[in-house]
């Protein structure tokens, strides 16, 4: 008998999500500003992890980093909830569930890692080398059986994610998640389009560098977000290209801040009601359970959902 994973209930889920979006916003706003400064005045560009090294230098920076880490953990929990329970109820079927586990589960893993990085910087009072971490991780992956193929597959996956972000910038499906406030929604949509495009370009570069590292079996070719921004900076059109991308990351941070306020978070009571009913009727027949769940969703949403089977 498998153990069930408890879902956050009540207002807890909404607060986790909104705090998480706000913390994620702060990370991207800082990374965008630092990289924009590097483009305009020279110096080193910074990815999300590099921004932590600047935060620790300000008064009470360690306390701020711990708060950011807590917010990122909240966001990781929200992503995990999306992956397992689909509280927004946008996707149906086994293939959709698999996509949720890959996309949202991967996002949860990444943001939990960012939280750990923020705590580490606050503890040791210095920033880690983001590109060195990427090279060390790539070296470990290359040392595994079928390491070259695995490294190239991971790089391809990151590049495909970048292309999906660029596609999202044009399609703007995220608008379905926003509350119906016309004035706010217009500027959030604009910021979201710019931000997703910038993130897409960065992810494509990171993925391509990882594919090259796998092809040549050379972990030194791998890089993180900071390295991808540095590659832009060192190109023929370095300063303008980096400035545009950095501004896009800054816009993504503002978009996430908008989501923290105006994103439509599915009422947690809907989610908990369905889960509680499933637990209460676990011993009953499958046909009766499907009927009860359909009735609950009809009552909560006013929309009839037909369960498979």
pLDDT in tens, 138-149: 999 999 999 999
User: What confidence tens digit (pLDDT) does each residue in 169-184 have?
Assistant: 998 888 888 876 555 5
Own/partner contacts of 229-232, CB < 8 Å, gap of 24 or more, are 229/35, 229/38, 229/45, 229/46, 229/47, 229/202, 230/44, 230/45, 230/131, 231/205, 232/45, 232/205
State whether residue 159 is helix, strand or coil. Answer: helix
Report yes or no on whether pTM surpasses 0.85: no
pLDDT reading at 5 higher than 80: no
Range scoring the smallest mean pLDDT among 87-91, 155-159, 280-284 = 280-284
Asked if 229 and 35 count as a contact pair (C-beta separation under 8 A), the reply is yes
State whether residue 167 is helix, strand or coil. Answer: helix
| Res 103: pLDDT | 86
Distance CA 46, CA 136 (A): 19
The model's confidence at residue 279, banded by pLDDT at 50, 70 and 90, is low
Total H helices, total E strands in the chain:
11, 0
User: What confidence tens digit (pLDDT) does each residue in 9-23 have?
Assistant: 557 788 889 999 999
């Amino acid at each position: 008998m498998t153990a069930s994973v408890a879902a956050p209930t009540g207002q807890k889920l909404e607060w986790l999500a909104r705090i998480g979006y706000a913390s994620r916003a702060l990370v991207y706003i800082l990374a965008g500003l630092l990289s924009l400064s590097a483009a305009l005045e020279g110096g080193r560009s910074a990815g999300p992890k590099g921004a932590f090294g600047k935060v620790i230098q300000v008064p009470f920076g360690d306390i701020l980093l711990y708060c950011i880490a807590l917010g990122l953990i909240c966001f990781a929990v929200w992503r995990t909830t999306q992956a397992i329970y689909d509280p927004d109820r946008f996707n149906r079927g086994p293939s959709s569930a698999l996509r949720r586990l890959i996309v949202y589960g991967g996002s949860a893993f990444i943001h939990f890692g960012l939280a750990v990085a923020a705590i580490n910087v606050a503890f040791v009072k210095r920033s880690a080398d983001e590109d060195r971490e990427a090279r060390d991780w790539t070296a470990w992956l290359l040392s595994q059986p079928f390491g070259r193929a695995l490294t190239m597959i991971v790089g391809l996956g990151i590049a495909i994610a970048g292309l999906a972000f660029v596609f999202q910038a044009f399609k703007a499906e995220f608008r379905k998640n926003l509350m119906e406030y016309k004035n706010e929604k217009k500027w959030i949509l604009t910021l979201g389009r710019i931000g997703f495009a910038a993130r897409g370009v960065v992810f494509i570069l990171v993925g391509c560098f990882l594919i090259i590292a796998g092809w040549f079996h050379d972990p030194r070719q791998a890089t993180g977000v900071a390295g991808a921004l540095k590659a832009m900076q060192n190109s023929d059109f370095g300063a303008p290209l980096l400035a545009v991308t950095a501004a896009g990351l800054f816009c993504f941070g503002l978009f996430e801040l908008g989501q923290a306020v105006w994103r439509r978070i599915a009422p947690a009571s809907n989610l908990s009601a369905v889960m509680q009913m499933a637990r209460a009727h676990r011993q009953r027949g499958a046909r009766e359970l499907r009927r009860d769940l359909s009735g609950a969703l009809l009552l909560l949403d006013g929309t009839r959902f037909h369960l498979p089977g």
